[in-house]
Structure 1
Amino acid sequence: MTPAQISVLDDSSSDSESVRQVKALYRALKAKDQQAIREILVDEPVWDVCPGFPEGAVYRGLAEIFGGFYQKLRARVHSFGAVPDSFVDGGDTVVALGHYQMTKSEGDAPVLVRFSHVWRIDSRKRIEGVWQVADSAQFFAA
Protein backbone atom coordinates (compact mmCIF):
# COMPACT_ATOMS: atom_id res chain seq x y z
CA MET A 1 0.00 0.00 0.00
CA THR A 2 1.36 3.38 -0.97
CA PRO A 3 0.90 6.40 1.29
CA ALA A 4 -1.95 8.74 0.45
CA GLN A 5 -0.93 11.71 -1.65
CA ILE A 6 -2.60 15.09 -1.43
CA SER A 7 -2.56 16.94 -4.74
CA VAL A 8 -3.54 20.48 -5.58
CA LEU A 9 -6.69 21.38 -7.49
CA ASP A 10 -5.00 22.12 -10.81
CA ASP A 11 -4.08 19.25 -13.08
CA SER A 12 -0.64 18.00 -12.27
CA SER A 13 1.52 15.54 -14.12
CA SER A 14 2.10 13.86 -10.76
CA ASP A 15 -1.63 13.10 -10.32
CA SER A 16 -2.62 9.47 -10.63
CA GLU A 17 -5.09 8.45 -13.32
CA SER A 18 -7.76 8.10 -10.62
CA VAL A 19 -7.29 11.68 -9.40
CA ARG A 20 -7.28 12.95 -13.00
CA GLN A 21 -10.61 11.16 -13.58
CA VAL A 22 -12.20 12.71 -10.49
CA LYS A 23 -10.97 16.17 -11.47
CA ALA A 24 -12.33 15.59 -14.99
CA LEU A 25 -15.73 14.71 -13.51
CA TYR A 26 -15.87 17.93 -11.48
CA ARG A 27 -15.04 19.90 -14.64
CA ALA A 28 -17.68 18.01 -16.67
CA LEU A 29 -20.33 18.53 -13.97
CA LYS A 30 -19.57 22.25 -13.83
CA ALA A 31 -19.78 22.50 -17.64
CA LYS A 32 -22.90 20.26 -17.70
CA ASP A 33 -21.10 18.17 -20.33
CA GLN A 34 -23.37 15.10 -20.40
CA GLN A 35 -21.20 13.21 -22.90
CA ALA A 36 -18.06 13.58 -20.80
CA ILE A 37 -20.00 12.65 -17.65
CA ARG A 38 -21.22 9.44 -19.33
CA GLU A 39 -17.68 8.56 -20.42
CA ILE A 40 -16.21 9.12 -16.95
CA LEU A 41 -18.90 7.29 -14.95
CA VAL A 42 -19.77 3.59 -15.00
CA ASP A 43 -23.12 2.71 -16.58
CA GLU A 44 -24.94 2.59 -13.22
CA PRO A 45 -23.16 4.93 -10.79
CA VAL A 46 -24.30 5.30 -7.18
CA TRP A 47 -24.54 8.62 -5.33
CA ASP A 48 -24.82 8.04 -1.57
CA VAL A 49 -25.85 11.45 -0.20
CA CYS A 50 -25.73 11.67 3.60
CA PRO A 51 -28.98 11.64 5.54
CA GLY A 52 -29.83 15.10 6.79
CA PHE A 53 -28.50 16.80 3.68
CA PRO A 54 -31.27 18.10 1.40
CA GLU A 55 -32.53 15.19 -0.70
CA GLY A 56 -30.19 12.86 1.21
CA ALA A 57 -30.61 9.27 -0.03
CA VAL A 58 -28.94 6.66 -2.21
CA TYR A 59 -29.39 7.31 -5.93
CA ARG A 60 -28.66 4.57 -8.47
CA GLY A 61 -28.13 5.28 -12.14
CA LEU A 62 -27.93 8.46 -14.17
CA ALA A 63 -31.71 8.97 -14.28
CA GLU A 64 -32.03 9.00 -10.48
CA ILE A 65 -28.88 11.09 -9.98
CA PHE A 66 -29.56 13.78 -12.57
CA GLY A 67 -33.35 13.52 -12.90
CA GLY A 68 -33.90 13.08 -9.17
CA PHE A 69 -31.20 14.31 -6.81
CA TYR A 70 -29.75 17.25 -8.74
CA GLN A 71 -33.11 18.37 -10.11
CA LYS A 72 -34.68 18.45 -6.63
CA LEU A 73 -31.61 20.09 -5.06
CA ARG A 74 -31.43 22.82 -7.69
CA ALA A 75 -35.14 23.58 -7.16
CA ARG A 76 -34.25 24.61 -3.58
CA VAL A 77 -31.57 27.16 -4.52
CA HIS A 78 -30.74 29.82 -7.09
CA SER A 79 -27.21 28.50 -7.73
CA PHE A 80 -25.24 25.51 -6.51
CA GLY A 81 -21.81 24.11 -7.37
CA ALA A 82 -19.11 21.91 -5.88
CA VAL A 83 -15.63 23.39 -5.50
CA PRO A 84 -13.00 20.80 -4.54
CA ASP A 85 -10.03 22.26 -2.67
CA SER A 86 -7.79 19.19 -2.34
CA PHE A 87 -7.63 15.52 -3.25
CA VAL A 88 -6.36 12.52 -1.32
CA ASP A 89 -5.25 9.68 -3.58
CA GLY A 90 -5.95 6.21 -2.25
CA GLY A 91 -5.61 4.33 -5.56
CA ASP A 92 -9.10 3.02 -6.29
CA THR A 93 -10.53 5.55 -3.81
CA VAL A 94 -10.11 9.31 -4.15
CA VAL A 95 -11.28 11.73 -1.47
CA ALA A 96 -12.13 15.29 -2.47
CA LEU A 97 -12.33 17.89 0.28
CA GLY A 98 -13.99 21.16 -0.58
CA HIS A 99 -17.12 23.22 -0.35
CA TYR A 100 -20.39 23.77 -2.10
CA GLN A 101 -20.98 27.35 -3.13
CA MET A 102 -24.65 28.23 -3.21
CA THR A 103 -27.04 31.13 -3.22
CA LYS A 104 -30.63 30.81 -2.08
CA SER A 105 -31.97 33.68 -4.23
CA GLU A 106 -30.62 35.92 -6.96
CA GLY A 107 -28.51 38.69 -5.44
CA ASP A 108 -27.78 36.78 -2.22
CA ALA A 109 -24.21 36.50 -1.01
CA PRO A 110 -22.79 33.02 -1.65
CA VAL A 111 -22.85 30.55 1.23
CA LEU A 112 -20.05 27.99 1.56
CA VAL A 113 -20.95 24.50 2.76
CA ARG A 114 -18.05 22.14 3.51
CA PHE A 115 -18.06 18.64 2.00
CA SER A 116 -16.09 15.44 1.75
CA HIS A 117 -16.63 13.26 -1.33
CA VAL A 118 -15.27 9.71 -1.39
CA TRP A 119 -15.09 8.50 -4.99
CA ARG A 120 -14.68 4.82 -5.95
CA ILE A 121 -12.81 4.00 -9.18
CA ASP A 122 -13.13 0.68 -11.02
CA SER A 123 -10.35 -1.27 -12.76
CA ARG A 124 -11.11 0.53 -16.05
CA LYS A 125 -10.62 3.88 -14.26
CA ARG A 126 -14.30 4.79 -14.51
CA ILE A 127 -15.99 6.32 -11.49
CA GLU A 128 -18.45 3.99 -9.74
CA GLY A 129 -19.96 6.62 -7.49
CA VAL A 130 -19.58 8.84 -4.49
CA TRP A 131 -20.18 8.74 -0.74
CA GLN A 132 -20.96 12.33 0.29
CA VAL A 133 -20.83 14.01 3.69
CA ALA A 134 -21.57 17.72 4.06
CA ASP A 135 -22.40 20.31 6.68
CA SER A 136 -26.16 20.36 6.22
CA ALA A 137 -26.61 22.93 9.01
CA GLN A 138 -24.82 25.51 6.87
CA PHE A 139 -27.06 24.62 3.92
CA PHE A 140 -30.26 25.06 5.91
CA ALA A 141 -29.00 28.23 7.62
CA ALA A 142 -28.77 29.86 4.18
Structure 2
Amino acid sequence: MSNAEIVQGHYSASDAGNLDGMLAPFAADIEWTEAAGFPLAGTYVGPQAIAEGVFIRLQQDWADFTVEVDEVLDAGDTVVGIGTYSGTNRVTGKPFAARFTHIWRLEGGQVVRFEQVVDSSLVVAAME
Protein backbone atom coordinates (compact mmCIF):
# COMPACT_ATOMS: atom_id res chain seq x y z
CA MET A 1 0.00 0.00 0.00
CA SER A 2 1.41 3.42 -0.93
CA ASN A 3 1.64 6.26 1.56
CA ALA A 4 -1.03 8.15 -0.39
CA GLU A 5 -3.32 5.10 -0.08
CA ILE A 6 -2.68 4.98 3.66
CA VAL A 7 -3.70 8.65 4.00
CA GLN A 8 -6.71 8.11 1.73
CA GLY A 9 -7.70 5.23 4.03
CA HIS A 10 -7.67 7.64 6.97
CA TYR A 11 -9.93 10.05 5.08
CA SER A 12 -12.27 7.20 4.08
CA ALA A 13 -12.51 6.08 7.71
CA SER A 14 -13.29 9.68 8.68
CA ASP A 15 -16.10 9.80 6.11
CA ALA A 16 -17.52 6.60 7.62
CA GLY A 17 -17.24 7.88 11.20
CA ASN A 18 -14.81 5.02 11.97
CA LEU A 19 -12.51 6.36 14.71
CA ASP A 20 -10.50 3.13 14.97
CA GLY A 21 -9.88 3.21 11.21
CA MET A 22 -8.81 6.85 11.42
CA LEU A 23 -6.25 5.99 14.13
CA ALA A 24 -5.03 2.73 12.54
CA PRO A 25 -2.14 4.16 10.50
CA PHE A 26 -0.79 6.31 13.36
CA ALA A 27 2.56 5.54 14.99
CA ALA A 28 2.45 5.27 18.79
CA ASP A 29 4.37 8.55 19.09
CA ILE A 30 2.74 10.47 16.23
CA GLU A 31 2.87 14.27 16.54
CA TRP A 32 -0.35 15.90 15.28
CA THR A 33 -0.31 19.71 14.97
CA GLU A 34 -3.48 21.76 14.65
CA ALA A 35 -2.86 25.24 13.20
CA ALA A 36 -2.33 28.32 15.35
CA GLY A 37 -5.61 30.20 15.63
CA PHE A 38 -7.69 27.04 15.09
CA PRO A 39 -9.97 26.28 18.07
CA LEU A 40 -8.00 23.11 18.89
CA ALA A 41 -4.57 24.61 18.16
CA GLY A 42 -1.53 22.80 19.46
CA THR A 43 0.44 19.60 19.11
CA TYR A 44 -1.00 16.31 20.32
CA VAL A 45 1.23 13.27 20.81
CA GLY A 46 -0.09 9.74 20.41
CA PRO A 47 -3.29 8.34 18.90
CA GLN A 48 -5.32 8.58 22.14
CA ALA A 49 -4.45 12.26 22.65
CA ILE A 50 -5.44 12.98 19.05
CA ALA A 51 -8.70 11.07 19.35
CA GLU A 52 -9.71 12.85 22.55
CA GLY A 53 -8.23 16.29 21.84
CA VAL A 54 -9.20 16.61 18.18
CA PHE A 55 -11.54 14.06 16.60
CA ILE A 56 -14.01 13.65 19.47
CA ARG A 57 -13.99 17.37 20.31
CA LEU A 58 -14.73 18.33 16.70
CA GLN A 59 -17.83 16.12 16.76
CA GLN A 60 -18.88 17.56 20.14
CA ASP A 61 -18.43 21.20 19.10
CA TRP A 62 -19.65 21.07 15.49
CA ALA A 63 -22.81 19.60 13.94
CA ASP A 64 -22.15 17.85 10.65
CA PHE A 65 -18.40 18.52 10.78
CA THR A 66 -17.13 17.37 7.38
CA VAL A 67 -13.69 16.91 5.86
CA GLU A 68 -14.12 17.01 2.08
CA VAL A 69 -10.88 16.04 0.37
CA ASP A 70 -10.41 17.31 -3.18
CA GLU A 71 -6.93 15.97 -3.82
CA VAL A 72 -4.27 13.74 -2.27
CA LEU A 73 -0.76 14.41 -3.55
CA ASP A 74 1.85 11.66 -3.23
CA ALA A 75 5.42 12.88 -2.65
CA GLY A 76 6.82 9.65 -1.25
CA ASP A 77 7.23 9.90 2.52
CA THR A 78 5.23 13.14 2.45
CA VAL A 79 1.58 13.19 1.42
CA VAL A 80 -0.52 16.34 1.06
CA GLY A 81 -4.30 16.44 1.37
CA ILE A 82 -6.20 19.49 0.09
CA GLY A 83 -9.86 20.16 0.72
CA THR A 84 -12.56 21.95 2.69
CA TYR A 85 -13.79 21.67 6.26
CA SER A 86 -17.41 22.55 6.97
CA GLY A 87 -19.82 22.35 9.85
CA THR A 88 -22.19 24.27 12.09
CA ASN A 89 -21.19 25.41 15.55
CA ARG A 90 -23.43 23.76 18.13
CA VAL A 91 -23.45 26.84 20.42
CA THR A 92 -23.97 29.69 17.92
CA GLY A 93 -25.71 27.79 15.13
CA LYS A 94 -23.40 29.48 12.62
CA PRO A 95 -22.02 27.47 9.71
CA PHE A 96 -18.55 27.71 8.19
CA ALA A 97 -16.54 26.39 5.27
CA ALA A 98 -12.74 26.75 5.28
CA ARG A 99 -10.07 25.43 2.93
CA PHE A 100 -7.33 23.26 4.41
CA THR A 101 -4.05 21.65 3.54
CA HIS A 102 -2.85 18.63 5.50
CA ILE A 103 0.81 17.67 5.44
CA TRP A 104 1.34 14.02 6.36
CA ARG A 105 4.79 12.50 7.09
CA LEU A 106 5.07 8.72 7.01
CA GLU A 107 7.77 6.23 7.92
CA GLY A 108 7.47 2.49 7.44
CA GLY A 109 3.80 2.69 6.52
CA GLN A 110 2.83 4.69 9.62
CA VAL A 111 1.96 8.34 10.06
CA VAL A 112 4.60 9.92 12.30
CA ARG A 113 3.74 13.63 11.89
CA PHE A 114 0.77 15.67 10.70
CA GLU A 115 0.43 19.40 10.22
CA GLN A 116 -2.79 21.28 9.50
CA VAL A 117 -2.88 24.54 7.55
CA VAL A 118 -6.31 26.19 7.54
CA ASP A 119 -8.00 29.58 7.36
CA SER A 120 -8.77 29.54 11.07
CA SER A 121 -10.49 32.92 11.01
CA LEU A 122 -13.49 31.42 9.19
CA VAL A 123 -13.84 28.74 11.86
CA VAL A 124 -13.48 31.19 14.74
CA ALA A 125 -16.05 33.55 13.17
CA ALA A 126 -18.64 30.77 13.29
CA MET A 127 -17.98 30.46 17.04
CA GLU A 128 -18.68 34.14 17.80
TM-score normalised according to structure 2 size: 0.84
> Are 1:120 and 2:102 matched, yes or no?
no
> Are 1:129 and 2:116 matched, yes or no?
no
SS of 2:39's equivalent in the other structure is: coil
Counterpart in 2 of 1:90? 75
The one of 119, 122, 126 equivalent to 1:138 is 122
Return the alpha-carbon distance in structure 2 between the equivalents of residues 140 and 39 of structure 1.
Answer: 30
Counterpart in 1 of 2:17? 32
Structure 1 or 2, whichever has the larger Rg, is 1
SS of 1:55's equivalent in the other structure is: coil
- Flag structure 2 segments of 5+ consecutive residues without an equivalent: none
CA gap of 1:72–1:98, structure 2 versus 1, over 3 A, is same
Q: Structure 1 residue 87: deviation in Å?
A: 1.9
Q: Structure 1 residue 20: deviation in Å?
A: 0.7
- Flag structure 1 segments of 5+ consecutive residues without an equivalent: 1-15
After TM superposition, the structure 1 = structure 2 runs for residues 28-67 of structure 1, keeping only pairs within 5 Å, are 28-67=13-52
Return the alpha-carbon distance in structure 1 between the equivalents of residues 29 and 95 of structure 2.
Answer: 33
Q: Structure 1 residue 141: deviation in Å?
A: 2.2
Return the alpha-carbon distance in structure 1 between the equivalents of residues 113 and 87 of structure 2.
Answer: 23
Return the alpha-carbon distance in structure 2 between the equivalents of residues 131 and 88 of structure 1.
Answer: 15
Counterpart in 2 of 1:20? 5
Counterpart in 2 of 1:12? none
CA gap of 1:53–1:38, structure 2 versus 1, over 3 A, is closer
Return the alpha-carbon distance in structure 2 between the equivalents of residues 49 and 140 of structure 1.
Answer: 14
TM-score normalised according to structure 1 size: 0.77
Does the Cα contact within 8 Å between 2:3 and 2:76 map onto a contact in 1? yes
Q: What's the C-alpha RMSD, in Å, of the aligned pairs?
A: 2.2
CA displacement, residues 78-135 of structure 1 (integer Å, 9 cap, x when unaligned): 22121111122210000111110211249x685311101000111x212223100100
CA gap of 1:104–1:38, structure 2 versus 1, over 3 A, is closer
